[in-house]
Amino acid sequence: MRVVLMGPPGAGKGTQAKKVVGALDLAHVSTGDMFRRMVAAGGDLGKRIQAIIGQGHLVPDKETSEVVDAFLTQESLWDSFMLDGFPRTVPQAEMLDAMLARRKKSLDAVVAIDLSEQNVLARLGGRRSCLACGSVYHEVSAPPKKPGVCDRDGKALQVREDDKPDKIRERLRIYESQTQPLLDYYAKSGVLKRVPGDAEADEVAGRILAVLRGQR
Ligand code: AP5
Ligand code: MG
């Protein structure tokens, strides 16, 4: 099964992907996580990506698509993936279609998690991240056992640079102008499924699993 997970910043894409990929035996492919790993690796490329992400802007389309194509080197990965945060522009969707067509494959479903702007602000305002291992917490809905410390590796939790209020606004603006048009793109090809994201994380996961199991 090949699935794309969409939704505004903070809708819960990463949280949901981690919850459902095991049950469906899919590889979780997050471009945001890939870019953060490239930033952590340093070098000129890492610094350039860091500047783009830190501003809440998008990495250029061609570069992003090449990173995804390079990540999915094992052909078996093209049979069972959940893409989290890619594509997020129409040109990226067209590039993904071309990558799939080259392998004589297509998408089974695009799941869009819907969340109001008010909820997005509450989710991102309370998010705390472990930049070392990628674990994600929330001050209210998913707190770590010890405040400010990652349960997994004991490192200090941080606020992502792009979770500062002005950067969240910029990301929302870009989502509306560049990513929302993708909903029409995928509605036209008949693969779009919309899932309300305003419930506890396990309940949202149940909704996503129900939609995807109905798809099999
Ligand atoms: P990326 O990391 O993908 O950021 P995003 O799309 O803005 O989404 P987030 O990761 O912020 O939110 P999420 O939906 O995963 O929510 P989460 O599960 O963490 O991308 C970062 C940057 O990389 C981009 O801005 C861009 O620069 C670049 N980039 C990435 N992909 C790109 C592409 N394709 N093209 C170009 N550039 C690209 O949840 C949020 C919070 O809410 C957490 O604290 C969580 O604990 C909490 N939470 C989750 N679900 C619930 C729930 N149901 N109830 C209560 N709390 C919840
Ligand atoms: Mg995420």
Residue, of 199 and 71, whose pLDDT is higher: 199
| Share above pLDDT 70 across residues of the chain, in percent, rounded to a whole number | 100
Q: Is residue 111 part of a domain?
A: yes
Q: What is the mean pLDDT of the chain?
A: 95
Cβ of 160 closer than 6 Å to ligand 1, yes or no, is no
Q: Is residue 47 part of a domain?
A: yes
Q: Is residue 98 part of a domain?
A: yes
Q: Is residue 80 part of a domain?
A: yes
**Are 4 and 107 contacting, i.e. CB atoms less than 8 angstroms apart?**
yes
| Residue 7 CA to ligand 1 centre (angstroms) | 9
Q: Which residue CA neighbors atom 49 of ligand 1 most closely?
A: 12
HSE at residue 191, side-chain half, CA atoms within 13 A, is 19
pLDDT, mean of residues 166-191: 96
pLDDT, mean of residues 160-185: 95
Cβ of 129 closer than 6 Å to ligand 1, yes or no, is no
Note down the domain range covering 50. 2-117+180-213
Taking the CA of residue 60 as reference, the ligand 1 atom at the shortest distance is 36
Q: Is residue 24 part of a domain?
A: yes
Question: For residue 54, what is the domain's CATH number?
Answer: 3.40.50.300
Q: How confident is the model at residue 76, as a pLDDT?
A: 84
20 Cβ contact partners less than 8 Å away, ≥ 6 residues apart? 26, 82, 205, 208, 209, 212
C-alpha 115/C-alpha 58 separation (Å) is 21
Q: How confident is the model at residue 215, as a pLDDT?
A: 73
Q: Is residue 146 part of a domain?
A: no
Q: Is residue 201 part of a domain?
A: yes
Segment 20-67, tens digit of pLDDT = 999 999 999 999 999 999 999 999 999 999 999 999 999 999 999 999
Q: Is residue 129 part of a domain?
A: no
pLDDT, mean of residues 141-167: 96
Domain count, the chain: 1
Q: How confident is the model at residue 182, as a pLDDT?
A: 97
Q: How confident is the model at residue 216, as a pLDDT?
A: 63
| Residue 174 CA to ligand 2 centre (angstroms) | 16
Catalytic residue among 2, 18, 36, 88: 88
pLDDT, mean of residues 176-192: 96
Closest to 93 measured CA to CA, from 115, 116, 168, 101: 101
